[in-house]
Structure 1
Amino acid sequence: MMKTRQHPLEKVLERRIAIIDGAMGTTIRTYGMAEKDIRGERFANSTKDLLNNGDLFSLTQPAMICDIHRRFLEAGADIIETNTFGATSITQSEFFVDDPREHGGRKDPEFYQKIIDDKMLSGLAWEINETSARQCREWADRVANETGRQRFVAGAIGPLTVSLSNSPDADDAGFRVVTFDQVLTAYKEQVRGLIAGGSDLLLVETIFDSLNAKAALVAIREVFDEDKVELPVSISAAVGRGGETLISAQTTEAFWNAVKHVKPLSVGLNCSLGPDLMYPFLSELSEKADVAVSAYPNAGLPNPLSETGFDLGPPDMARFLGKFAEDGLINIAGGCCGNTPEHIAAIAKALEGVAPREIRREVAA
């Protein structure tokens, strides 16, 4: 059997801790965008509010999105994420399709089959993913050429607004609003758009429902097999105060056991908790995993009175992530909600020269 060529990012992770970018949503808010800005001319007549649909900014305000990518890259990010956290037909339907519950109906598999079959929604999902990946690709290459250091584009795949694990109906525990195959189809559309736009790797992130994540990982594998393509895959979960995924309630170790067969480039934790609360669960994952480990926590807990909406400033995040690195827990570091380019710059500076966690790969018998 021929040896698979090592991906350039793997070589980086062997030498040093790689830096991933911060929060797109947090940084967008600093630009003071309003409803009219996200609508532009194209979505001017939409009947529902769109401002919370941050993925649309890649289409209507590309200059702002590209400026954010530039700032994160210049702050020291090796990896920038596409602005596609909710870029599936299922999630986009929240902003473009009337909620049947407002008219006495309910969301169920029949409703979501119409969403999956909707050409406008599937086309929009493709366009957001392909466009956002292309924007990232342009700026990653531009900054790489200017600095002589390769940068990487991570195609961001979020958790969806529906759950495959839980029923929303207290009187019917077996009811699910959506089927596995419907989620699989939506994710395959997203994956193909991210690959077409030039992503270097795919990042299944902020996992709160392990079954949703399983659908995303199956979708990725099917696209790879059908389209004869292969990219590294990274996986990152959001956990609660007990270290469990938020809906499916898998412990950190159980989460790793559920995904390690994918042989990801990296596994990690992000969002949900500030770095201090994340530490023990990250430590457990670092001990168990035989691949690179990532951590990009929120900037502390939410605080509506702070400038970013979260408690911790750049020096705080640099101190906490510096502790993660000094204790040998991480190979990839960055920030989630509340982390601006200034936070990432501070983290990058704090981790400069610190040795990465040793990757203890299992050897087959």
Structure 2
Amino acid sequence: MVDIFKECENRVVVFDGAMGTQLQERGLKAGECPEYINLKMPEVVFDIHKAYIEAGAEVIETNTFGANRIKLAKYGLEDKVEEIVTKGVEIARKAAGDRPVALSVGPTGELLAPFGDMTFDEAYEVFKEVVVAAEKAGADIVIIETMSDMLEAKAAILAAKENTNMKVICTMTFQEDGRTLMGSDPVTVVVSLQGLGLDAIGVNCSTGPDKMVKVVEKMAQVARIPIIAQPNAGMPVIRDGKTVYDLKPEEFASFFPQLVEKGACIVGGCCGTTPYYIKLVKKAVENLKPKKLENKFTALSSNTRTVFIGKEYPLRVIGERINPTGKKKLSGALLSGDVNLAVEEALKQQKCGAEILDVNVGVPGIEEEEMLPKVAFEVEKAVDLPLQLDSTNVKAIEKAIRILRGRPIINSVNAKEESLKEVLPIVKKYGACVVGLTVGDKGLPKDRHERVENARKILKKAEEYGIPKEDVIIDPVVLTVSSEQGAAIETLEAMKIISEELGVNTVVGLSNISFGLPERKLINSTFLAMAASHGLTAAIVNPCDESLMDTLRASMVLLNKDKGSENYLKVYGQRVKPKEEVIKRHEEDFSKKLYDQILEGKKSGVEEIVMALLEDNPPLSLVDEIIIPALKEVGDRYEKGIYFLPQLLSSAEVVQSAFKLIKEKLPKGTASKGKIILATVEGDVHDIGKNIVKVLLENYGYEVIDLGKDVKGEVIVEEVKKTGAPLVGLSALMTTTLFNMEKIIKMLKENTEAKVMVGGAVLTEEYAFKIGADYYGKTAQDAVKIADKFFLKNALVCKTCSF
């Protein structure tokens, strides 16, 4: 059988096109389970596969996109996973002959914690059940596709890598703003996921090929593995009661040379494409040579941000404060299982200028395998900075790295054989970066030569494990100058050799250098400036030490690493140092505290703040004067691309906690701002978007009646009559259920006075109004704006209304 990943080094490989819309053309009804057709009408699925093969497809994807127990449960088929998957692979294998068969694995449709109820382990088990059944049935490749959350994608990737020998591809889906639903950009997706052992990474669904070109171009800047692109046939529209796509086959295929030029070497089609589309794509790329991807870089990531480390970048600041050593309060909190102080330190360090955060929970007697993952998970939720997992407990590190959305640094490995054998396999498996501590069998290094020799040993061993040297950051070890004054210069000279001769990045922790001396900040700052000129590319420091940060920023200007003194001017250009008494007053201002906690998504302590405010303020004043303005700023930041869905949901959690207490103080009979019914339309089993809208509307004081998913029009009409709700929100994610949305809107118009707002990934504003909707919301925040305008207008018209 052809190894497509080897083949795409020299030519473009073509996958097949859409399955769902092809099934729909052959009689699949709205609300019917597409994957059940494998059992019900296998010949239909076989014919679709054969049509794609005849069109030139070299890889056939199985009809198993939603064949996981979560999605199948919506149809009462949760016990049919193995049977449906097995049959799907068998049909594809029969049609494909000696061509590779790729198991199609889609998302569960549920949000993973902390933004939903599903845990990483639960998602992992769901995906494991699917991939194990597929390998037994004879699948060659797993293609994990249409993912919006990197953590769900990671669960699926690891389920495939740890339980099968199949090749693994992962594709994410991006919104029009160039980010996934959870806020991840194309560069961050590749940096975070490609090191997990993927054979290819890329993008599918999302948009037409015209808008996918930029996504592929960005991915190619950092990809070390093949890139796959599977666009839709443009955007869906309704014609004569049918969902069609706005790009004709010829126009669709015309964009594929650009996709290949920008970096794609595997191509295919997604929603709306047919065998004819694939035939034209095959013709468009058959003589094209793929772009060579030979990216070498050092990069870390969070869910929404990538941080590059290297000589061409400013020295990166790794915040050291989440470390219980010498901190009684933090040690006590961690021992009791309380992560709030660690989260507070994370938020504080981010404000002070940290770009990466070290996370260390090493307290004697602590269950580190439990606490390191817990703290890392909560810190990653609170800030958008990459993390450095700092522990000597390899099991704790693996448990933590497993549930992170981003790509962290592991701190650390040393040159001792035992350490190398224990740590490097974890680095390789999870595609992380690692700090290489230049400590060897003889203990702490005596001079620069021993440091360099230990660095060489670490790099050589890493190479044997398949870890590129760009993923190793060498720590030449800083020793205290109070007891060994020559240690500083030995470290600096070793740093220079490691940087220039070995060509790798370096990092140091500064705290040891000044131990035992007065005015430690002076020693630390001076050494940092010297190290910056000797090739240092990252430093583990206290970012809230102003004198140290002042020295660092000035050094970056003098070393020509802060281009145009941009960062220096940003910090000092209009800097006014607040007086201590002003800071103190603000710390005691509970109104500001509540506002800031909503803005930061910081849940801990919010109950105490609200209770203090309720002692002197009417409950509704907290809503009108603090909560709503804070949520407005969160919404503004979301719209500007400063915040993303995780921050939006974290702020919503804080508000929910505050509302619980505020509602208790409200006079009985206090009305909400208005009633709104929400439902995902009949035939559609997705409700992630609707659930997000519900949370936001409730936070803004609206009473939400959630009817759930796959809701019939009659049920919605009856609920409007029963409750008198004047506004209904309808959601649809699948193109096959857009027609049902139109029918439900018509039923509501004919039988009630309710107005209708609609939203969903497949909807456009033009189509929304065409099918009779009164309002269209592109984002969850838009739904709040619609509700505000609607109920304000009605309040002005009807002065006796209770809202």
Q: Is the aligned partner of 1:182 residue 2:182?
A: no
Q: Is the 8 A contact 1:299 1:310 kept in 2?
A: yes
CA contact (8 A) 1:291 1:361 kept: no
Where does residue 84 of structure 2 map in the other structure? 128
Compute the displacement of 1:34 (Å): 4.2
What are structure 1's unaligned runs of at least 5 residues?
1-5, 36-49, 97-119, 145-150, 168-175, 225-229
Output the amino acid matched with 1:237: M
Candidates 244, 250, 254, aligned match of 1:315 = 250
Does the 8 A contact of 1:243 with 1:281 survive in 2? yes
Q: Match of 1:270, as an amino acid?
A: N
Deviation at 1:361, TM superposition (A): 6.4
Within a 5 Å distance, the mapping from 1:274-285 to structure 2 comes to 274-285=208-219
Query: Cα–Cα, structure 1 residues 341 and 308, in superposed 2: closer, same or farther, change >3 Å?
Result: farther
Contact 1:165–1:211 under 8 Å retained in 2: no
Which of 235, 251, 272 pairs up with 1:338? 272
One of 135, 148, 159 as aligned partner of 1:195: 135
Q: Which residue of 1 aligns with 2:166?
A: 231
- Mapped to 2, the partners of 1:189 and 1:356 lie a distance apart of 35
Deviation by residue 1:221-241 (Cα, 9 ceiling, x = unmatched): 3313xxxxx121111000011
Higher strand share: 2
Counterpart among 16, 19, 26 of residue 21 in structure 2: 26
SS in 1 for 2:81: helix
3-state DSSP of counterpart to 1:14? coil
Choose the corresponding residue for 2:104, options 128, 135, 156. 156
Q: Which amino acid aligns with 1:80?
A: I
Does the 8 A contact of 2:220 with 2:293 survive in 1? no
- Moved >6 Å (runs of 4+): none
In 2, the alpha carbon distance for the partners of 1:165 and 1:210 equals: 12
Tell me the equivalent position of 2:147: 207
How far is the alpha carbon of 1:153 from its aligned partner?
A: 0.8
CA shift, 1:275, in A, is 1.4
Aligned equivalents of 1:157, 1:251: Cα separation in 2: 22
Report what 1:299 is aligned to: 233
Q: CA deviation at 1:197?
A: 1.5
**Contact 2:105–2:145 (8 Å) recurs in 1:** yes
Judge conservation of contact 2:208–2:252 (CA < 8 Å) in 1: no
Residue 166 of structure 1 and its aligned partner are, at CA, apart by: 6.0
CA distance in 2, matches of 1:262, 1:213: 11
The answer to whether 1:57 aligns with 2:14 is no
Query: Contact between 1:137 and 1:197, CA under 8 Å: does it hold in 2?
Result: no
CA-CA distance at 1:323 after TM superposition: 2.3
d(CA) in 2 for partners of 1:200 and 1:245? 28
SS for the counterpart of 1:303 is strand
In structure 2, distance between residues paired with 1:7 and 1:60: 32
Counterpart-to-counterpart distance in 2, 1:13 and 1:237: 20
Shift of 1:352: 1.2
1:78 aligns with 2:35: no
TM-score (normalised: structure 2): 0.36
Cα deviation for residue 210 of structure 1 reads 1.5
Q: 1:308 to 1:80 in 2, by over 3 A?
A: farther
Deviations 1:42-73 (A, max 9, x none): xxxxxxxx51x211111101000000000011
**Secondary structure of the corresponding residue to residue 192 of structure 1:** helix
CA distance in 1, matches of 2:152, 2:270: 20
Shift of residue 267 of structure 1?
0.6
- Matched residues in 2 for 1:184 and 1:32: separation? 33
Deviations 1:98-138 (A, max 9, x none): xxxxxxxxxxxxxxxxxxxxxx724x011111111111111
2:221 paired residue among 268, 277, 287: 287
Distance 1:241 1:33 in 2: 29
| Alignment size in residue pairs | 298
> Structure 1 residues 75 and 165 mapped into 2: Cα distance closer, same or farther (>3 Å)?
farther
Task: Say which SS state the counterpart of residue 292 (structure 2) adopts.
Answer: coil
Q: In the TM superposition, what is the alpha-carbon distance from 1:254 to its structure 2 partner?
A: 1.0
| C-alpha separation in 1, matches of 2:198 and 2:154 | 13
Contact 1:22–1:337 (CA<8 Å) still a contact in 2? yes
Q: What's the CA shift for 1:33?
A: 3.7
CA–CA separation in structure 2 for the residues paired with 1:164 and 1:34: 30
Secondary structure of residue in 2 paired with 1:304 = strand
2:468 counterpart letter in structure 1: A
Out of 252, 255, 260, the residue aligned to residue 189 of structure 2 is 255
* 1:291 to partner: Cα distance: 0.6
Distance of 1:361 and 1:195 partners within structure 2: 32
Are the equivalent residues in 1 in contact too, given 2:263–2:293 (CA < 8 A)?
no
Q: Cα distance 1:239–1:165, how it changes in 2: closer, same or farther (>3 A)? A: farther
- Are 2:120 and 1:16 equivalent residues in the alignment? no
Match of 1:115 in 2: none
Match of 1:349 among 283, 303, 307: 283
Preserved CA contact (<8 Å) 1:20 1:335: yes
Distance verdict in 2 for CA 1:166–1:298, change over 3 Å: farther
Q: 2-side partners of 1:61 and 1:136: how far apart? A: 14
Give the aligned partner of residue 94 of structure 1: 74
Cα RMSD, aligned residues only: 2.0
Q: Which of structures 1 and 2 has the bigger CA Rg?
A: 2
| Counterpart residue identity of residue 31, structure 1 | R
Distance in 1 (CA, whole Å) between partners of 2:243 and 2:17 is: 12
Whether the aligned pair in 2 keeps the contact of 1:328 and 1:358 (CA below 8 Å) is no
Question: Alignment partner for residue 243 of structure 1, among 178, 183, 193?
Answer: 178
In the other structure, the counterpart of 2:47 is 67
2: distance between equivalents of 1:83 and 1:204? 13
C-alpha separation between the residues in 1 aligned to 2:160 and 2:187? Answer: 23
Summarize the Cα distance change of 1:92–1:33 in structure 2 as closer, same or farther, 3 Å threshold: closer
Deviation string 1:178-209 (CA, Å, 9 cap, x unpaired) is 22222111111001111112111111111111
Letter aligned with residue 285 of structure 1: M
1:287 Cα deviation after fit: 1.9
CA distance in 1 between partners of 2:244 and 2:287 (Å): 31
Q: Contact 1:165/1:209 (CA < 8 Å) preserved in 2?
A: no
The answer to whether the 8 Å contact 2:233/2:248 transfers is yes
1:18 alignment partner AA: V
Task: Determine if the alignment matches structure 1 residue 272 to structure 2 residue 206.
Answer: yes
Q: Which has the higher contact order (CA 8 A, sep 6+)?
A: 1
